[in-house]
Structure 1
């Protein structure tokens, strides 16, 4: 970039008290260097947030993305007018373009808050202090201006269309009625059961063909919609406006546009009588995912401004960081996963006090506060971490994918299980090195773990990404583990003596008992769980055998093609004989037909030679027809979903004869433990060969009632299911209590 030759702007002082800076836009200056563009000029003014006399003037806040690459330095200069004259401040390009657009559009005459300029980014204490003020700043501003970036032809079309739709009274009225009534109206319009004189029907008929779907996708694809910080910025402000190039529309216009698209998309689908291009189909299919960030903002704005309801910081961190298979909102720094949500949360004492730039400290401090109230935060700590320096028990919220715990149906629901009973009176302790000391109950040591696991498809062929062929080995292994369990002396359960208990265990181990909790077998409306399991086992067997048959055919074909006779060199030596190639071709065709006939007839021999086992007389019929009625049943849908929620988990057997499901990296010698107040058991790995380390004699735990209990030094592996221990059965007096020291 070019430079004006001015001195570099220096912030006069550090603002670590309740003072802020605001930008006043001044007429731009023209650069004397090519390309002679206009350069933003600003004045920075300081204000007290709690003035004794003059109140802070009305101001607006700018919400935007920095759009920077890792290690990139600001290089776009603006002019800052000070009492000592003009000075130069370098900023990033996207903010530079936003300031230009704000002046050109004359969208505001009020002072503006833009964090990149109003906060000295090189002053760490000032930056840390202002992070805690972000929620208040965006709540107190008159309006938030969202900068989406430079305009395109498509975005201009959408902005013009949005203003038109936003001015239609019938569309705005649609936003004020209850959701159920809104859906009824939408169905009436799509099915044309409403009167043709209906105003909304006429609006849809007029504007549906004109909806700029490409422009809608263009705007929704802007980087602003994918950033975590923007949620609080857009949700807290009383009003909002989106700016793209020099065009703008309000949040209400966007909300009207969103609902009109919902109606018009359904009308468009009902009118299709001809084939459409794959490009348009992919474009329309992508819209639903692209809309989700603004749907979240709608929800947060309604909760804050209409219902006056705020969630705890822990609930917000889970909501915006636990993503299952969806793409997570973007955040530059790991600690942004927490700090970017502070403004939305109620004040409950869980906000980290650790400074920005120390993600380990932020995550550990946050987890320390939460685990005192909810031991289930451990369920989010499973698996390898992106931040390697984190203690094993601390969740890494910056991971690209974090799944909902298996003991929950949704993030907001109550846990299905209560393996740990009531919460212990002995609160967890965390030392300065991040070592967690928490009371627990030792269930048993892992003697053996399974070979098979439920998998998802590597290259999805179905919308659910389910690999049904993986069920065969997994289901068979359950029966084998239950058989081994009964041979252990003093086992909790003797499955060989109780067939009903064995069947219950076998069914619950397929999906961690989730379907049995959702659909009790006493309800005659749904088929028995055993019927669902047997149908999927048969279906899986069929897929496996088809794959094995295909493999033998591929092998046979390759072998034949490698060794089949071909015309020799004499054909090339005597071109006149090339006419005989027609005869040879006829022979080839005849031989190919014969070979295929022999292939079908010799299938049993080939399968035997390939090592494919024969079907046992009592096995499920691999050639049977799929029961489509059963597969369309609601219970079957839920059962499949519950099964594949356990993908990557393996069976394990403890020295007490308990069988369960654990993380994919479970190992022999790991210990199954239950934490009081927790919903599910957990797997920990002892730090050395001796599990019990003797009494916990750490005098730093004065006041604890269990200093005489055995201690277990370990690392955290993951949550688990343990059949027969999910409802507090093992929390009775006399169990082997211990102190877990998890590093």
Structure 2
């Protein structure tokens, strides 16, 4: 009888007509879906209803990716909406609903693909503007990471393999143990008693992550450094071994679970940054496993602050999750009351490596983080092209701040898109990376003097030509990209050092060697507690000499790489890999974007913190990017009065 009823339900399900969205009635209206109870495999049934946010409806908000882990984002799954209609959703959305569905009670959710009429551009744009309110008003946000890994491990061997003998000494049983804090530790979801039972390695990792962070919090409460936790040390040891050792036997269950989780597609989405930053509480959902999102943030931050060699080595092992967690840290800083407008640009910059199916979402996904961002950029408008959106943003930021700091994010590669070279094209990664928190004041603290043409193509700005690039020998261009391999980077270093030592004197009167090493690191270094040190301390000169000897003395790149890694030279950690050194007509060293060409001008523009590379092109200039010129970064070459400045027309 049950099979017959199920067959009848499926038949009705397939014969339903498509759901027709009714327009929302109020500016603060949203739709909420009521997920009806059911078993895992039974058809999904929902009801949709309109609510006003001012009425404070109770719901949970879902954060997820439309696409499955293999990239399928087609609307190929159907669910029943009401008694007679159906909705088409992606397979990943359907999976999330199945795992979130209760068997005996209803659940109220907000899911963007279902609760927003995706075919109505006006509604979509309006709801995007409400996104922060939607996620912040929900008591919790549920992050659907996907189903658990099919790679299985055995809980008992996981406990033995994952913990060092010292951490097992205080064990009170096969499934519990005491950590260095003295507190009892056990998996949050105890595995089966059968030692041969298996669970997913993703669950193994998430269970252990909870234990690690709980132990670190306990240790920190006693006034000790949380990284003293033996469980934390064991975790980074296993990640380090799996990350650096290619042998299959080095890939423990714990490491494999870590890799599985940090490579999930969810971490790559630009929108989820706003979703988690706005939330009161965030829960990661992987099949039936639930883990507090703050565990991940705490682990990532601990590894950043941990100055140990192992922690430094495994930072990149966070893979695609790295970009997300870095952007989230920047977003929290940017939403502080004391944050400067430049913090908004930093979030946009950090989100450049994240994915958005619509290029405009690289901006729209960040705008909703804070009300104060609304004064820096126009409201979301999906009827505009990416070039219109990004140019409007640049114009608005320039007008609001009277600062050229947004130009620091632009590169000459934009011009190939038919896009103004002075307006950052946010979907593209920057050509040059540098620390924008360093207090450079190449144009002193002047305000920008500018006009923008009616067609938004030309930026006219006042400034002065300081110098011209005359020599710029380069290694292979790949040596200066973020993706460059070690051998490519080394060759780039060598070429830049040869450029520096080709000078016999320096205009500031400093020794050439000092001008060289300060140019290589943009005269900046991080302190041991991640405080910013500018200008770079004199003692870095000794580290430079050791670094330079290793760089130039080795006969092969292989020897150089091994020696570099063994030495862990402090100077090596400070070099800007993305800015080759060139020389100028007046004998200065300039760290420039690799897209710079001989003959390009170095200009000091009112309202700019750094010098800028401009390329003469007919009756205007093309904007190439920012640069570092040693000896003029504190306003030494910029006039005290602005009367004698000239106009530059940049397109």
TM value normalised by structure 2: 0.71
Match of 1:722 in 2: 629
Deviation at 1:124, TM superposition (A): 0.3
Q: What is the CA-CA distance between 1:385 and the residue it aligns to? A: 3.3
Look up the SS of the partner of 2:224 in the other structure.
Answer: helix
Out of 413, 419, 424, the position equivalent to 1:390 is 419
Taking the aligned partners of 2:499 and 2:476, their CA distance within structure 1 comes to 11
Matched residue SS, 1:685: strand
Give the stretch that moved more between structures: 417-426 or 116-125: 417-426
- Counterpart-to-counterpart distance in 1, 2:610 and 2:595: 18
Q: Does 1:666 align with 2:599?
A: no
Asked if structure 1 preserves the Cα contact closer than 8 Å seen for 2:18 and 2:86, the reply is yes
Q: 1:705 maps to which residue?
A: none
* Matched position secondary structure for 1:122: coil
SS at 1:4's partner residue? Answer: helix
1:118: Cα distance to partner?
0.6
Map 1:566-581 onto structure 2 (within 5 A): none
1:677 is the counterpart of 2:607: yes
Match of 2:217 among 174, 188, 196: 174
**Corresponding residue of 1:130:** 127
**1:200 matched to which residue of 2?**
none
Question: How far apart are 1:650 and its partner, in Å?
Answer: 4.3
* Counterpart for residue 248 of structure 1: 289
Q: CA deviation at 1:731?
A: 1.8
Contact 1:313 1:345 in 2 (8 A): no
- Give 5+ residue unaligned stretches, structure 2: 1-9, 153-198, 235-251, 526-532
After superposition, the C-alpha distances for 1:206-256 in whole angstroms (9 at most, x for unaligned) are xxxx984433433333222232212222332223333333x1324179559
CA distance in 1, matches of 2:645, 2:576: 33
Residues 596-616 of structure 1, C-alpha deviations (whole Å, 9 max, x = no match): xxxxxxxxxxxxxxxxxxxxx
Instruction: Select 2:577's aligned residue among 645, 653, 658.
Output: 645
Structure 1 residues 313 and 213: CA distance shift in structure 2, 3 A? farther
1:498-534 C-alpha deviation (Å, 9 max, x unpaired): 6x5666555555555457954444xxx66558xx35x
Structure 1 SS opposite 2:22: coil
Given candidates 394, 397, 400, the residue that maps to 1:370 is 397
Distance 1:224 1:506, change over 3 A: closer
Going from structure 1 to structure 2, the CA distance change for 1:658 and 1:172 (only over 3 Å counts) comes to closer
Larger radius of gyration: 1
Moved more, 665-674 or 293-302: 293-302
Distance in 2 (CA, whole Å) between partners of 1:119 and 1:460 is 37
Q: How far off its partner does 1:682 sit?
A: 0.9
Displacement after TM superposition at 1:673 (Å): 0.9
Report how far residue 39 of structure 1 moved: 2.2
- Counterpart for residue 421 of structure 1: 444
Q: Contact 1:680 / 1:726 at 8 angstroms: preserved in 2?
A: yes
For the residues of structure 2 that align with 1:343 and 1:166, how far apart are their CA atoms? 31
Cα distance in 1, alignment partners of residues 328 and 145 from structure 2: 18
Question: 2:132·2:274 contact (CA, 8 Å) conserved in 1?
Answer: yes
Deviation of residue 426 (structure 1)?
Answer: 3.3
| Equivalent residue in structure 2 for 1:141, among 138, 143, 152 | 138
Looking at both structures, which has the greater relative contact order when contacts are Cα pairs under 8 Å and sequence separation is at least 6? 1
Alignment length (residue pairs): 560
- Whether the aligned pair in 1 keeps the contact of 2:364 and 2:380 (CA below 8 Å) is no
Identify the residue that residue 236 of structure 1 maps to in structure 2: 278
CA deviations over 1:334-359 (Å, ceiling 9, x no partner): 22222222332342411332512522
- Name the SS of the counterpart of 1:340 in structure 2: helix
How far, CA to CA, are the matches of 1:404 and 1:250 in structure 2?
A: 34
Match of 2:473 in 1: 451
When residues 180 and 377 of structure 1 are mapped into structure 2, their CA distance, relative to the original with a 3 A threshold, is farther
| CA separation of 1:45 and 1:427: change in aligned 2, threshold 3 A | same
Report the Cα distance in structure 2 between the residues aligned to 1:67 and 1:28, rounded to whole angstroms. 24
Q: CA deviation at 1:311?
A: 5.2
3-state DSSP of counterpart to 2:134: helix
The corresponding residue for 2:186 is none
Residues 630, 641 of structure 1: alpha-carbon distance in 2 compared, 3 angstrom cutoff? closer
Partner residue of 1:115?
112
Asked if 1 retains the 8 angstrom alpha-carbon contact of 2:268 and 2:320, the reply is no
Q: CA distance change for structure 1 residues 59 and 517 in 2, over 3 Å: closer, same or farther?
A: closer
The within-5 A match list for 1:458-469 is 467-469=489-491
Report the Cα offset of residue 725 of structure 1.
2.6
What is the distance in 1 between the residues matched to 2:522 and 2:482? 24
- The aligned counterpart of 1:740 is 648
Distance apart, 1:94 and its partner CA:
1.0
Structure 1 residue 77 and structure 2 residue 91: aligned?
A: no
Q: Quick one: structure 1 residues 633 and 423, their matched pair in 2 at CA, closer, same or farther if it must change by over 3 Å?
A: farther
Distance in 1 (alpha carbons) for counterparts of 2:357 and 2:74: 15
Residue number in structure 2 paired with 1:694: none
Question: TM-score w.r.t. structure 1 length?
Answer: 0.63
Residue 17 of structure 1 aligns to a residue in which SS? coil
State the 1:391 CA deviation. Answer: 0.9
Equivalent position of 2:367 in the other structure: 342
Q: Is the contact between residue 350 and residue 369 of structure 1 (CA under 8 Å) also seen in structure 2?
A: yes
**Separation in structure 2 between the aligned mates of residue 225 and residue 437 of structure 1, nearest angstrom:** 40
RMSD: 4.9
Contact 2:442–2:610, Cα closer than 8 Å, also in 1: yes
User: How many angstroms apart in 1 are the aligned matches of 2:49 and 2:613?
Assistant: 56
Q: Is the CA contact (8 Å cut-off) linking 1:322 and 1:404 kept in structure 2?
A: no
SS at match of 1:438: strand
Aligned with 2:285: secondary structure?
A: strand
